[in-house]
């Protein structure tokens, strides 16, 4: 680990020159991202509307975490839709993968995972996404039996397929996709230690996200809450958000970046420095909050409850 950190510091100095403060700052962020977690931690990513940038943020975070952490990471696609996490990351159907083979084999491997006693059983047939990351696709037609549609997975399916193997991974990142704020969003929140709500940095989506966060966070049994606003339309400068009275543990803004519009798995190297830095900060916050969280569905004490009656008062 010491050698890895020294190498990271050398690389950063080569990229940034002799700006010691900047190098030290980024090294500290890398250290936070790589912090060991005492137990498996579950982190959900969710949006209230399409086009929020959720997929870009989640995949970028997954790649950054996988590159900087030594422990296993489980990525879960519960969003459905025509383009899942595997496709976004360029993972095709390969010979020998359970979710790449016949439906009978996929179901047999899924059953092995549900009764897993070893990490080998827990990872049976799951395609590899990076160094240490594996994918569970809950919308895979081979498992759902619904062809050719990729339907979003209900929370009960996540509990059936993911809960038995979550303990074998340091981090479990779930893409919940777009979820109705007052229907199953609360159930989604109850599955994890941290919930990251992603919205566009425009007034309507941001207000909707604030309302959802306030509604969930007012419950004393809520997870740690992170609000992420993506400036996809370059509208963030048109308003200001004060989260002082809201149950938000972190607020992050991701600047506009045209690379988000391309093939995500290949666009990471083209991200601007401000965007990469914002994503690195989000990854560090994700690990920080995961470490602070108690059991899933039970938030740490000390958060201020929200007045959800008029969230617009927090805007200017």
What are the pLDDT digits (tens) for 23-70?
A: 778 889 999 999 999 889 999 999 988 888 888 899 999 999 999 999
What whole-number distance in Å separates Cα of residue 179 and Cα of residue 47? 6
Please answer whether residues 208 and 198 qualify as being in contact, where contact means their C-beta atoms are separated by less than 8 angstroms: no
What whole-number distance in Å separates Cα of residue 73 and Cα of residue 66? 7
What whole-number distance in Å separates Cα of residue 215 and Cα of residue 305? 9
Read off the DSSP letter of residue 265. Answer: H
Better-scored residue on pLDDT, 6 or 197? 197
Q: In DSSP terms, which residues pair with 43 in a beta bridge?
A: 173, 194
What whole-number distance in Å separates Cα of residue 141 and Cα of residue 124? 18
What pLDDT shows up at residue 95? 35
- What integer is the mean pLDDT of 181-206? 84
What pLDDT shows up at residue 113? 92
Q: What percent of the chain has a predicted confidence (pLDDT) above 90?
A: 31
What pLDDT shows up at residue 159? 92
Residue 243 has pLDDT above 60, yes or no: no
In terms of Cα–Cα distance, which of 169, 171, 180 is closest to 46? 180
What pLDDT shows up at residue 220? 57
Identify the weakest region by mean pLDDT among 47-56, 103-112, 299-308: 299-308
What whole-number distance in Å separates Cα of residue 217 and Cα of residue 222? 6
What whole-number distance in Å separates Cα of residue 136 and Cα of residue 86? 9
Residue 212 has pLDDT above 90, yes or no: no
Sorted by where each starts, the structural domains of the chain and their CATH numbers stand as 41-92+128-300+306-310 (3.40.50.300)
Report the chain's mean pLDDT, rounded to a whole number.
77
Containing 177, the helix (H) or strand (E) segment is strand 171-178
Q: In DSSP terms, which residues pair with 174 in a beta bridge?
A: 44, 76
Please answer whether residues 63 and 268 qualify as being in contact, where contact means their C-beta atoms are separated by less than 8 angstroms: yes
What pLDDT shows up at residue 297? 54
Identify the weakest region by mean pLDDT among 89-103, 107-121, 156-170: 89-103
pLDDT band, residue 138 (cuts 50/70/90): confident
Better-scored residue on pLDDT, 97 or 31? 31
Residue 118 has pLDDT above 80, yes or no: yes
Q: Residue 242: is it exposed, middle or buried by C-beta count within 10 angstroms (0-12/13-18/19+)?
A: exposed
272 φ/ψ angles, rounded to the nearest 5 degrees: -70, 160
Q: What percent of the chain has a predicted confidence (pLDDT) above 70?
A: 71
User: Would you give the end-to-end CA distance of the chain in angstroms?
Assistant: 46
pLDDT band, residue 219 (cuts 50/70/90): low
What pLDDT shows up at residue 306? 32
Please answer whether residues 53 and 60 qualify as being in contact, where contact means their C-beta atoms are separated by less than 8 angstroms: no
Radius of gyration, CA atoms only, the chain? 19
Better-scored residue on pLDDT, 202 or 147? 202
What whole-number distance in Å separates Cα of residue 214 and Cα of residue 282? 20
What whole-number distance in Å separates Cα of residue 163 and Cα of residue 183? 22
Residue 195 has pLDDT above 90, yes or no: yes
What pLDDT shows up at residue 215? 78
In terms of Cα–Cα distance, which of 163, 215, 164, 217 is closest to 194? 217
pLDDT band, residue 77 (cuts 50/70/90): very high
What pLDDT shows up at residue 9? 54
Read off the DSSP letter of residue 315. Answer: B
- pTM for the model stands at 0.81
What pLDDT shows up at residue 249? 73
What pLDDT shows up at residue 205? 80
What pLDDT shows up at residue 25? 83
């Amino acid at each position: 680990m010491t050698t890895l950190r020294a190498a990271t510091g050398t690389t950063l100095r080569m990229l940034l020159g002799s700006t010691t403060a900047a190098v030290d700052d980024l090294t500290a962020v890398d250290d936070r991202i790589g912090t060991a977690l005492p137990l498996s931690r579950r982190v959900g990513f969710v949006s209230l509307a399409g086009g929020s940038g959720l997929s870009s943020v989640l995949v970028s975070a997954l790649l950054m975490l996988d590159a900087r952490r030594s422990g296993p990471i489980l990525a879960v696609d519960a969003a459905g839709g025509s383009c899942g996490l595997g496709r976004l990351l360029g993972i095709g159907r390969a010979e020998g993968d359970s979710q790449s083979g016949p439906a009978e084999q996929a179901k047999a491997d899924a059953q092995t995972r549900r009764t897993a006693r070893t990490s080998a059983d827990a990872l049976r047939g799951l395609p590899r996404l990076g160094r240490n990351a594996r994918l569970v696709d809950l919308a895979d037609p081979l498992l759902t039996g619904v062809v050719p549609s990729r339907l979003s997975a209900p929370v009960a399916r996540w509990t059936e397929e993911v809960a038995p193997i979550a303990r074998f991974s340091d981090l479990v990142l779930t893409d919940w996709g777009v979820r109705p704020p007052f229907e199953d969003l609360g159930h989604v929140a109850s599955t994890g230690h941290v919930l990251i709500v992603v919205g566009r940095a425009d007034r309507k989506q941001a207000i909707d996200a604030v309302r959802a966060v306030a509604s969930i966070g007012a419950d004393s049994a809520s997870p740690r809450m992170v609000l992420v606003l993506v400036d996809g339309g370059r509208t963030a400068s048109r308003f200001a958000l004060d989260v002082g009275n809201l149950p938000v543990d972190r607020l992050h803004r991701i600047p506009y970046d045209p690379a988000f519009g391309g093939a995500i798995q290949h666009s990471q190297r083209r991200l601007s420095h401000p965007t990469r830095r914002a994503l690195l900060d989000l990854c560090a916050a994700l690990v920080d909050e995961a470490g602070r969280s108690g059991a899933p569905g039970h938030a740490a004490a000390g958060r201020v409850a929200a007045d959800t009656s008029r969230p617009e008062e927090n805007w200017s």
